[in-house]
């Protein structure tokens, strides 16, 4: 189902937890709410499911406005970070609970529980208690309980945060599979950009209660709308250097090069403060725009190697290259950056 948030604001005391958020979630997509902790993404999630009351704006499920409705009257399935399984009930009682409070018949409940248990592969766990399950199994039970009554939308709050690293990889693809198979509209809240990038159809980046950018993972990576987004997405992260525009060139201590044509055209004025952003893969030994620096850090990750380059002026750039390290600490090198693939931000942080 299509979900719309229209100019939603939520305050806690004097603090605006979400501020004028407008967002459309398309039917059947998996949308990731991404941002650092405290950015308002969980508050947005709780506003959608009705746990929080919004102070202004509207929330629409399809054509129905639900802003004033309590959680019980919205058709939303939620998977909580801690899974929130009912410890005194067996797995099948947990999954059956939403149906039971709707007073469905015993046979009906049993049929639906079996069906969803098959879907999330926990058929053999139905008689156990939550305490007897591993983290990944608890996660599956929580998902089963959230989707058993076929809600309009499925919300997942940091679903992978409580799992160990190996399980996290497995559940990432598992969640995606379940969402695809059921075709349910889903919103996932995460602070982990890798999770967001790898699982979702679209990403919403939030900071300080506001939406900074909405787009596909690809757009986020290659066309970040501002410095915050560029810095938040990408691992290892992008490197920044503050400088000035002089005579159509980007100038900072230890670096001076001709701005790409698209930047020149975008009406930059001489003397304007400007920030350069270079992703590690766009700084390579043989790239066009030369950069002279000293290697101050090397991390060999086996398949690839990570380098920190410190310029004469103190700016640090990062480079990632496949294969074994090709130089050693303290080497003076002359590599190059791909100026066309690099980002430039104005002094408000907006990408030019």
Partner 1 sequence: MSSHLKTWPLSLFLGIVSFPLVLMYVYLVIDTITVTPPGSIIPEKFTLEDWRFLFEEATGRRPSIWSVTLNSFILASANSIVIVSISATAGYALSRLNVPFRSFFLAGMMVLHAFPTVTLIVSIFLILQMVGLYNTLIGVILVKASLLMPFGVWIMKGFYDTVPWEIEMAGVQDGASRFTVWRRLVLPQVQPGFLALGVFAFLDGWSEFILPQVLAPSSDVQVLSVYLAGLIADEFYFDFGLFKAVGLFYSVPVILLYLFFQDKLMNIYGGGSKG
Partner 2 sequence: MRHQSDRLGLAFLTPALIFVVLFFLSPVVLTAVFSFTTMSTATGISGGTYRITPSAVRSAAEKGLNPATAERLSQERYTIDDDALTRATKAGIDAEILKELERDLKGKSTDDRRSFERLLKKLDNRPNRRQVKSISPHFRTSILNQSFEDRTTLDATLENLGLDAAERARVAETSYTGWIWTSANFRRMFLQPDTYRILINTIVYVFTTLVIFNTGYAMVLAIVTFYLPGRQATVYRTIWFLPRITPPVIYVLLWKWLAWDTGFISTITGWFGVASRNWMLDTSLNAWVFVVLINGFVGASMGMIIFSSAIKTIPESLFHASAVDGAYRWQQVRHIILPQLRWPILFLTTYQTLSLLSSFELIFLATNGGPGSATEVWSLAAFHLALSNYAGNLQYGLGAAFALILVLIGITASLFYLRLFKFSEMISKPRIEH
101 contributes a contact to partner 2 by CB under 8 A? no
**Could you tell me where the beta strands, DSSP code E, fall in 158-238?**
185-190, 202-207, 210-215
Measured distance CA(147)–CA(142) in Å, rounded: 9
Angle, CA 23 vertex, CA 18 and CA 29 arms, to 5°: 125
With CB under 8 A as the contact rule, the residue among 86, 248, 270, 296 that binds partner 1 is 86
Locate 281 and state its tokens.
Answer: 């893969």
Measured distance CA(196)–CA(205) in Å, rounded: 10
Draw the binding track, 30-59, toward partner 1 (x: CB under 8 A; -: no contact). -------------------xxx--------
Locate 42 and state its tokens.
Answer: 């969980």
Nearer to partner 2, 69 or 270 (CB): 69
Q: Give which of 81, 58, 75 is closest to 6, Cα–Cα.
A: 58
144 contributes a contact to partner 1 by CB under 8 A? no
Please choose which of partner 2, partner 1, none residue 143 contacts, taking the beta carbon within 5 to 8 angstroms, the exact cut-off set by kind: none
**What single string gives the DSSP state of each residue in 9-58?**
EEEETTEEEEEEEEEEE-TT-EEEEE-STTSSHHHHHHHHHTSSPPSEEE
Residue 261, C-beta contacts closer than 8 angstroms, at least 6 positions apart: none
Nearer to partner 2, 68 or 290 (CB): 68
Please choose which of partner 1, partner 2, none residue 80 contacts, taking the beta carbon within 5 to 8 angstroms, the exact cut-off set by kind: partner 1
Question: Considering the complex, what minimum distance in angstroms separates the CB of residue 70 from partner 2?
Answer: 4
Angle, CA 113 vertex, CA 108 and CA 116 arms, to 5°: 125
Tell me phi and psi for residue 271, to 5 degrees. Answer: 85, -5
Question: Considering the complex, what minimum distance in angstroms separates the CB of residue 181 from partner 1?
Answer: 22
Question: Considering the complex, what minimum distance in angstroms separates the CB of residue 34 from partner 1?
Answer: 21
- Bridge partners (DSSP) of residue 261 are none
70 contributes a contact to partner 2 by CB under 8 A? yes
Nearer to partner 1, 67 or 81 (CB): 81
Measured distance CA(268)–CA(273) in Å, rounded: 9
With CB under 8 A as the contact rule, the residue among 1, 4, 51, 251 that binds partner 2 is 51
**Is residue 242 a contact partner of residue 310, using CB atoms and an 8 Å limit?**
no
Under rule CB under 8 A, how many of the chain's residues touch partner 1?
24
Q: Which stretch binds partner 2 (CB under 8 A): 28-36, 45-53, 87-95, 177-185?
A: 45-53
With CB under 8 A as the contact rule, the residue among 40, 98, 136, 209 that binds partner 1 is 98
Q: Which stretch binds partner 1 (CB under 8 A): 145-153, 171-179, 221-229, 333-341?
A: 145-153
**Residue numbers of the site for partner 1 (CB under 8 A)?**
49-51, 70-72, 76-78, 80-82, 84-88, 97-98, 101-102, 145-146, 149
């Amino acid at each position: 189902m299509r979900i719309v948030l229209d100019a939603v604001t939520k305050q806690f005391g004097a603090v605006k937890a979400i501020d004028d958020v407008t967002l459309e979630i398309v039917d059947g997509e998996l949308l990731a709410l991404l941002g650092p902790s405290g950015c308002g993404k969980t508050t947005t999630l709780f506003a959608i499911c009705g746990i929080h009351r919004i102070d202004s704006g509207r929330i629409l499920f399809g054509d129905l406005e639900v802003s004033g409705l309590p959680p019980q009257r919205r058709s939303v399935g939620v998977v909580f970070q801690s899974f929130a399984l009912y410890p005194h009930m067996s797995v099948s009682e947990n999954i059956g609970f939403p149906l039971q409070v709707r007073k469905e018949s015993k046979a009906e409940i049993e049929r639906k529980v079996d069906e969803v248990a098959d879907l999330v592969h926990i058929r053999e766990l139905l008689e156990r208690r939550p305490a007897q399950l591993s983290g990944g199994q608890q996660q599956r039970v929580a998902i089963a309980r959230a989707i058993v009554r076929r809600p309009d939308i499925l919300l997942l709050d940091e679903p992978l945060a409580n799992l160990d690293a190996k399980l996290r990889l497995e559940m990432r693809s598992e969640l995606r599979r379940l969402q695809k198979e059921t075709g349910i509209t889903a919103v996932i809240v995460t602070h982990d950009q890798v999770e967001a990038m790898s699982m979702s159809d679209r990403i919403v980046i939030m900071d300080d209660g506001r939406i900074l950018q909405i787009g596909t993972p690809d757009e986020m990576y290659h066309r970040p709308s501002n410095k915050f987004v560029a810095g938040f997405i990408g691992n290892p992260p992008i490197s920044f250097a503050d400088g000035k525009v002089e005579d159509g060139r980007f100038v900072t201590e230890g670096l001076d090069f001709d701005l790409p044509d698209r930047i020149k055209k975008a009406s930059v004025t001489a003397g304007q403060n400007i920030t350069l952003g270079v992703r590690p893969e766009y700084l390579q030994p043989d790239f066009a725009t030369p950069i002279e620096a000293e290697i101050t850090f090397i991390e060999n990750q086996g398949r690839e190697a990570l380098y920190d380059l410190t310029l004469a002026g103190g700016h640090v750039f990062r480079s990632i290259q496949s294969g074994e390290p090709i130089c050693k600490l303290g080497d003076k090198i002359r590599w190059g950056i791909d100026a066309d693939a690099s980002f430039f931000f104005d002094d408000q942080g907006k990408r030019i």
